[in-house]
Amino acid sequence: MTEEQQATFTDTATQSPIQTALPPTEQEIAIPAAEDKNVELIEQTFQGMQQLLKTMQGLKQDFETKVKYDESKERMIDTLHSELQSYREGLHFKILRPLFIDLISLYDDINHITDNMQKEFPGLDATIIANIESFAESVEEMLSNNGVETFQVAEETFVSNKQRTLRAIPTTDASLDKHIARRLRKGFLYENRVLRPEMVETYRYVAEQPQA
C-alpha cells in the first residue's frame, strides 16, 4: 500500500468510526421495571374494587333483609295494636252496656208512666206531668253525655235490625203492609251498635175475606 492509499484509509476511518454496542443506561433499565410495577398496581386496584363491590352487595342484602324484617315487625305490631284496641273497645262496651240498658229501661218506664197518667187522669195538673217528663229528659241527657245517641229510622217501612214491632195493625190495603203505623219509642245507639231498637207499630196486610 502506498503512502497515498494509507492516508486515504486513515481519513476514512477517522470520518466513519465503527459503532460499538454500549451497555444500557440506568434509565433504560428502569422503564420495564416501572411498567411491571404499574401493571401490578392496576391489578391490585382492580382486585380491591371487586372486593369493595362484593362488600357493597353484602351490605345491600343485609339492608334489604333488615327492611323486610322491620316491615314484618311493624305489621305484627299494627295487628297486635288493632286486636288490643278491639279487645279494649269490646270490653268497654261489655262493661257499660248493662248500665246503659238499665238507664234506657228507666227512661221507658218514665215515659210509660206519663202516658198512662195522661190517659187515666185527664184533669191532672200539667205541672206534675212536666216534672216527670223533665226527669226522663235528664236520663236521656245522661245517656247522651256518655256517648249514647237516640235515633228514629227515616224509612216509612219496617227495618228489622233497627226497629221492633210492639203491635201489628191489620189492614186490607196491600200497599201499607210492613209500613210504620205509629212510632212509640226512640231507639238508642252506642258507637253504631244498637242498644235498644226503635219501638213501633206496623201495618200487616190481611186479605179481605169474601162475603158469604
Lowest average pLDDT, out of 35-44, 133-142, 151-160, 162-171, goes to 35-44
Three-state DSSP class for residue 57 = helix
Cα separation, 129 vs 116, in Å, equals 11
Residue 203 CB neighbour total at 10 angstroms: 21
Q: What are phi and psi of 160, to 5 degrees?
A: -65, -35
- Whether the CB-CB separation of 188 and 151 falls below 8 Å is answered with yes
So where are the chain's domains? Answer: 53-146, 147-212
The DSSP call for residue 175 is G
Q: Which residue has the cell 434509565?
A: 27
- Whether the CB-CB separation of 190 and 96 falls below 8 Å is answered with yes
Cα separation, 107 vs 199, in Å, equals 13
Cell numbers representing residue 127 in the block: 205541672
- Whether the CB-CB separation of 143 and 108 falls below 8 Å is answered with no
Q: What are phi and psi of 200, to 5 degrees?
A: -140, 165
Q: Given this model, what pLDDT does residue 16 score? A: 47
Q: Which residue has the cell 185527664?
A: 122
- Whether the CB-CB separation of 149 and 187 falls below 8 Å is answered with no
Q: Given this model, what pLDDT does residue 181 score? A: 95
Lowest average pLDDT, out of 75-79, 81-85, 89-93, 142-146, goes to 81-85
pLDDT digit string, tens, across residues 19-62: 444 555 555 555 555 566 667 777 777 787 888 888 888 888 87
Half-sphere exposure of 54 (CA within 13 A, CB side): 6
Q: Given this model, what pLDDT does residue 118 score? A: 85
Q: Given this model, what pLDDT does residue 28 score? A: 53
Task: Please choose, from the candidates 20, 22, 184, 61, the residue with its C-alpha nearest in 3D space to the C-alpha of residue 115.
Answer: 184
Amino acid symbol at 61: Q
pLDDT at 166 over 80: yes
Question: What is 147-212's CATH number?
Answer: 2.30.22.10
Average pLDDT, the chain: 80
